[in-house]
Amino acid sequence: MSGTSLDGVDLALCIFDTENYSNFEIIDTQTFEYTSELENSLRYSTQLSAIEYVKLHRELGFFYGKLCKNFLKNSKVDFIASHGHTSIHLPSQKVNFQLGDGAAIATTSGFPVVCDFRSTDISLGGQGAPLVPIGDYYLFPNYDALLNIGGFANITFKKMQKL
C-alpha cells in the first residue's frame, strides 16, 4: 500500500483463515521509501502529460513488483493485493485512478496480482473504499464502529439491531 503521505510503500505478508477472517496472522511487514524522483513524480502526477502519466503508472508497477519479489523471495503466497497509489479520487464525478500497473507488478514479481479496488465501487455509486468496511467487519468483529485515519478518513459502523 502506498498512502497519500508519500512516506513509502508498506508491504505485509499475511495469512488469513478463509473460514473465519477474524483469524489472521501478520507474518512480516516492511516499509520502503520512495526515491526522491519517484516521490516527486507521484506528488505532481496530475500535472503530467497523458503519456508521462501512463509511463509513471507502469514505472510504479515495476517498482512495486521488484519490492514484492525481494520481500517475498522465500515465501509461498497465493497472490499480491495491490491498492496502488491514489492520484485521482473524485467519486462524486465517478472518477478515480490508482497508479501502479498490476500487470507490471505481476510480470516483475512472478505472482498473480489483484488490484484496482476502487473502480467498481465508484461505478456502483460508492465512495471508492470498498475494502475498509468489509475488512473492518471481518477483521475486527468485536467493534461496533471503527475510524481509519489516513489521507482519506473512513468510518465503519455496524448496523445496530433493536432487540
Q: pLDDT tens, 15-39?
A: 988 888 778 899 999 999 999 999 9
pLDDT of residue 151: 67
pLDDT of residue 160: 59
| Residue extents of the structural domains in the chain | 9-125
Look at residue 101 and tell me whether its pLDDT is greater than 90. yes
Q: Report pTM.
A: 0.85
Question: Does 3.30.420.40 match the CATH number of domain 9-125?
Answer: yes
What is the pLDDT averaged over residues 147-159?
76
Q: How does residue 75 score in pLDDT terms, banded at 50, 70 and 90? A: very high
User: DSSP letters along 23-75, please?
Assistant: -EEEEEEEEEPPPHHHHHHHHTGGGS-HHHHHHHHHHHHHHHHHHHHHHTTT-
